[in-house]
């Protein structure tokens, strides 16, 4: 959720929905609405729904076993939201009280009056069906569907705050735990904070989806007067596979083997939100239990993250890239422009990611102090090559010594004193760190590298399906 | 069966008219509505109490009545029903229909 402006215009993003706005002021209004107005509306709607869904204090009923049995059978047969059913029960209980009192005041023995009062209402099943039909009108059904649709954004808006409330302490706890582990137990390790944060974010999203599903089901049930259990089951049966397919095939994100199961947490949150204790209030959880759950969860995440720790390269930052011996040899000094930096490193190099799968790399030959200011025209077959990188922490510092060849190559073009090439790495599982070098064929027919290259990180960003199908 | 009592389909069709009629003078709860109908019609219309509440809830669902829970002087809390503007309109319409029906039946039966 956010607002961004740029030369191309103002964009408003809410969850996965992004829209270009004709005027920044509209964006500011939407931004304020999404953070404040929608959650407040959501809380108001939750309280309205709660009034109809959850039973208030039990009605006082005549002290008679047969009356209690009649009312219990009525409640069980109504098939209405609990709050509405409780109201009906209270109303019928009051009616029976009045009828019995009226009959006994007229001289009828109490036990006969009780039987007469119940008899006047008729068979309990018939009464329950008639009341249910009178409550569940088509107009209320349509209004209920509308209420459910409105409930989704309101539930998401409230859920965002709930998710932030859950995620912040979890993130703090996990970050402190990882830092402590790095400092004291595993010096030289680079624990994957990014994975931990991904998992926490997905857990928070699960809470958000759960709140939205719960409010949508209860909103629909409250307005339509249908059973929330039946609605919840239908919503879960239809929505869970749909949301699952959405996560699998449509929603892109950073993927790893470890985080893939967690990608489905929002789907599970949705299903649980639509069905768990949907016919009544959620049980109150003690603070001590919440605290214990947070600690257990944090320990679980840390336990998952530690095994995928990567060893930090010694002595980083390094003076020189490592593992270059697997690359084509450096080109003849007379033909390769040299930089003022590392001796013999060739052209200056820098790469920047472009989009989610490619990187644009520039190799500069414009060192004013060197006689070879331009790349000799004798070079042919100029191209950029992406090799698997070795990393220090998450940062590429050279070529993976086990690499046998470039993963991807792309033609390089001369642009003044520069050599420019754009590599499309594609969606590959064996990233995200790559080492990019320019190479060319010298007059002797050999391919040489023209620079020691530069590292680039292109984290996988795609759907779960794309990750599963991506080449290694 | 009590000869004076009218039951069955005729009464069922007239229940909304009877309910709306007794609520014309002010709000009442279910038991009072049943009693009021019985009193006003000298027990000719003995409303089936099992049909009363579905009728009340249906009238509330269509917007002809509003319902409010309120403490009562005696006994448990009660759900009071009151006519809405829509309910008044519906009552007037039912009354017109009834006059037409009564006139037609009178003519037919001589």
Q: Is the model's pLDDT at A17 over the cut of 80? A: no
**In this predicted structure, what is the pLDDT of residue A409?**
93
Least confident piece of the model among A54-68, A226-240, A325-339? A54-68
A99 and B49 within 8 Å at the Cβ level: the answer is: yes
Give residue ranges of A with CB < 8 Å to any B CB: 59-60, 87-88, 90-95, 97-99, 101-102, 120-123, 126-127, 130-131, 133-135, 137, 139-140
CA A190-A172-A252 angle, 5° bins: 70
- Report the candidate in A312, A359, A391 with the shortest Cα–Cα distance to residue A458: A359
- Domains identified in chain B and CATH numbers: 3-109 (1.10.10.10)
| Nearest-angstrom CA–CA distance, A32 and A12 | 11
Q: Is the model's pLDDT at A120 over the cut of 70? A: yes
**A425 near A208, Cβ under 8 Å?**
no
Choose from A222-236, A302-316, A418-432 the range with maximum mean pLDDT: A222-236
State the average pLDDT over residues A49-71. Answer: 75
pLDDT in tens, A296-321: 999 998 888 877 665 544 444 455 77
**In this predicted structure, what is the pLDDT of residue B46?**
67
Q: Give residue for tokens 């019928």.
A: A92
The per-residue b/e assignment along B2-37, b for 16 or more CB within 10 angstroms, e otherwise, is: eeeeeeeeebeebbbbbbbbbbeeebbbbbbbbbbb
CA gyration radius for chain A? 34
pLDDT in tens, A261-275: 999 999 999 999 999
**A304 near A282, Cβ under 8 Å?**
no
Closest Cα of chain A to B30: distance in Å? 7
Least confident piece of the model among A22-31, A248-257, A288-297? A22-31
Choose from A366-375, B55-64, B101-110 the range with maximum mean pLDDT: B55-64
Bridge partners (DSSP) listed for residue A17: A14
Q: Is the model's pLDDT at A6 over the cut of 50? A: no
Nearest to B61 among A97, A123, A135 (CB): A135
- Residue A88 tokens read as 């009906």
**In this predicted structure, what is the pLDDT of residue A373?**
58
- Cα–Cα separations (whole angstroms), residue A240 to A213, A214, A271, A299: 10, 13, 6, 29
Average pLDDT, chain A: 83
**In this predicted structure, what is the pLDDT of residue A196?**
87
**B49 near B34, Cβ under 8 Å?**
yes
A99 and B76 within 8 Å at the Cβ level: the answer is: no
- The 3-state DSSP composition of chain A as helix, strand, coil percent (nearest 5) reads 50, 20, 30
Q: Is the model's pLDDT at A81 over the cut of 80? A: yes
Q: Is the model's pLDDT at A433 over the cut of 90? A: no
Polymer length of chain A = 472
**A160 near A33, Cβ under 8 Å?**
no
State the average pLDDT over residues A267-289. Answer: 92
Closest Cα of chain A to B106: distance in Å? 33
Enter the DSSP assignment of B109: H
List chain B residues with CB under 8 Å of A62.
none
Looking only at Cα atoms, what is the longest distance across chain B?
51
State the average pLDDT over residues A52-75. Answer: 78
Residues 6+ apart with CB under 8 A from A153: A38, A212
Q: Is the model's pLDDT at A5 over the cut of 70? A: no
H or E, element range at A430: none
Q: Is the model's pLDDT at B11 over the cut of 70? A: no
- Report the candidate in A171, A153, A260, A166 with the shortest Cα–Cα distance to residue A209: A153
pTM score, two decimals? 0.74
**In this predicted structure, what is the pLDDT of residue A416?**
76
| Nearest-angstrom CA–CA distance, A346 and A448 | 11
% of residues, chain A, pLDDT over 90: 36
Closest Cα of chain A to B109: distance in Å? 34
Nearest to A133 among B29, B54, B77 (CB): B54
| Nearest-angstrom CA–CA distance, A90 and A75 | 10
**In this predicted structure, what is the pLDDT of residue A267?**
96
**In this predicted structure, what is the pLDDT of residue A381?**
93
**In this predicted structure, what is the pLDDT of residue A214?**
94
Q: Is the model's pLDDT at B7 over the cut of 70? A: no
| Nearest-angstrom CA–CA distance, A470 and A426 | 9
Q: Is the model's pLDDT at A4 over the cut of 70? A: no
**In this predicted structure, what is the pLDDT of residue A391?**
79
Considering only residues A211 and A362, tell me which one the structure prediction assigns the higher pLDDT.
A211
**A407 near A387, Cβ under 8 Å?**
yes
The model's confidence at residue B41, banded by pLDDT at 50, 70 and 90, is: confident
- Cα–Cα separations (whole angstroms), residue A383 to A361, A367, A406, A413: 11, 21, 11, 8
Least confident piece of the model among A174-183, A250-259, B5-14? B5-14
CATH fold label, A313-469: Immunoglobulin-like (2.60.40)
**In this predicted structure, what is the pLDDT of residue A156?**
87
The per-residue b/e assignment along A213-232, b for 16 or more CB within 10 angstroms, e otherwise, is: bbbbbbbbbbbbbbbbbebb
The per-residue b/e assignment along A428-455, b for 16 or more CB within 10 angstroms, e otherwise, is: bbebbbbbbbbbbbbeeeeebbbbbbbb
**In this predicted structure, what is the pLDDT of residue B74?**
73
The DSSP code sequence of B43-85 is TSS---HHHHHHHHHHHHHTTSEEEEEE--SSSS-EEEEEE-H
A134 and B57 within 8 Å at the Cβ level: the answer is: yes
A122 and B79 within 8 Å at the Cβ level: the answer is: no
- Report the candidate in A448, A53, A433 with the shortest Cα–Cα distance to residue A277: A53
**In this predicted structure, what is the pLDDT of residue A228?**
92
- Domain positions in chain A: 1-309, 313-469
Q: Is the model's pLDDT at A466 over the cut of 80? A: yes
Burial label for A391, CB within 10 Å (0-12, 13-18, 19+), is: buried
State the average pLDDT over residues A194-221. Answer: 90
Q: Is the model's pLDDT at B36 over the cut of 50? A: yes
B53 and A126 within 8 Å at the Cβ level: the answer is: no
**In this predicted structure, what is the pLDDT of residue A313?**
45
ipTM beyond 0.85?
A: yes
The model's confidence at residue B3, banded by pLDDT at 50, 70 and 90, is: very low
Least confident piece of the model among A2-11, A36-45, A66-75, A238-247? A2-11
**In this predicted structure, what is the pLDDT of residue B2?**
47
| Nearest-angstrom CA–CA distance, A470 and A394 | 21
Closest Cα of chain B to A211: distance in Å? 29
Q: Is the model's pLDDT at A2 over the cut of 60? A: no
Residues 6+ apart with CB under 8 A from A272: A210, A213
């Amino acid at each position: 959720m956010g607002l961004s402006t740029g030369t191309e215009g103002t964009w408003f993003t809410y969850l996965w929905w992004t829209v270009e706005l004709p005027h920044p002021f509209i964006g500011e209004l939407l931004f304020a609405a999404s953070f404040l107005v929608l959650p407040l509306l959501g809380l108001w709607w939750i309280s309205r729904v709660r009034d109809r869904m959850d039973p208030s204090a039990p009605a006082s009923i005549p002290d008679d076993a047969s009356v209690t049995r009649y009312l219990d059978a009525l409640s069980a047969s109504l098939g209405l939201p609990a709050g509405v059913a409780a109201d009906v029960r209270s109303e019928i209980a009051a009616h029976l009280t009045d009828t019995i009192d009226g009959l006994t005041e007229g001289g009828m023995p109490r036990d006969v009056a009780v039987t007469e009062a119940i008899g006047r209402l008729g068979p309990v099943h018939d009464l329950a069906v008639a009341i249910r039909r009178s409550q569940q009108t088509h107009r209320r059904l349509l209004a209920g569907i509308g209420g459910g649709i409105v409930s989704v954004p309101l539930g998401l808006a409230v859920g965002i705050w709930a998710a932030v409330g859950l995620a912040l302490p979890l993130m703090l706890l996990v970050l402190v735990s990882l830092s402590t582990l790095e400092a004291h137990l595993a010096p030289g390790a680079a624990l994957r904070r990014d994975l931990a944060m991904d998992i926490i974010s997905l857990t928070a999203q699960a809470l958000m989806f759960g709140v939205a599903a719960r409010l949508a089901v209860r909103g629909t049930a409250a307005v339509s007067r249908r059973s929330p259990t039946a609605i919840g089951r239908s919503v879960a049966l239809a929505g869970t596979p749909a949301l699952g397919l959405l996560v699998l095939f449509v929603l892109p994100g950073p993927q790893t083997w470890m985080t893939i199961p967690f990608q489905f947490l929002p789907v599970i949150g949705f299903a649980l939100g639509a069905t768990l204790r949907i016919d009544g209030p959620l049980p109150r959880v003690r603070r001590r239990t919440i605290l214990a759950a947070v600690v257990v969860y944090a320990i679980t995440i840390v336990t998952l993250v530690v095994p995928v720790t990567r060893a930090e390269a010694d002595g980083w930052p390094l003076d020189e890239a490592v593992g270059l011996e697997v690359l084509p040899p450096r080109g003849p000094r007379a033909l390769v422009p040299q930089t003022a930096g590392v001796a013999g490193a060739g052209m200056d190099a820098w790469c920047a990611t472009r989009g989610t799968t490619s990187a644009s790399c520039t190799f500069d030959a414009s060192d004013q102090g060197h006689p070879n200011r331009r790349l000799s025209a004798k070079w042919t077959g100029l191209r950029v090559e992406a090799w698997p990188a070795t990393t220090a922490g998450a940062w590429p510092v050279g070529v993976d010594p086990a690499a046998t060849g470039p993963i991807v190559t792309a033609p390089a073009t001369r642009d003044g004193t520069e050599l420019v090439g754009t590599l499309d790495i594609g969606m590959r599982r064996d990233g995200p760190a790559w080492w990019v070098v320019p190479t060319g064929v010298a007059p002797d027919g050999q391919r040489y590298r023209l620079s020691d290259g530069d590292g680039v990180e292109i984290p996988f960003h795609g759907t779960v399906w794309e990750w599963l199908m991506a080449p290694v | 069966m009590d000869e004076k009592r009218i039951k069955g389909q005729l009464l069922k069709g007239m229940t909304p008219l009877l309910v709306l009629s007794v609520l014309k003078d002010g709000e009442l709860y279910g038991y009072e509505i049943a009693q009021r109908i019985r009193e006003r019609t000298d027990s000719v219309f003995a409303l089936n109490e099992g049909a009363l509440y579905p009728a009340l809830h249906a009238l509330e669902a269509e917007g002809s009545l509003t319902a409010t829970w309120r403490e009562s002087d005696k006994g448990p809390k009660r759900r009071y029903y009151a006519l809405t503007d829509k309910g008044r309109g519906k009552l007037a319409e039912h009354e017109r229909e009834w006059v037409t029906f009564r006139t037609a039946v009178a003519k037919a039966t001589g």
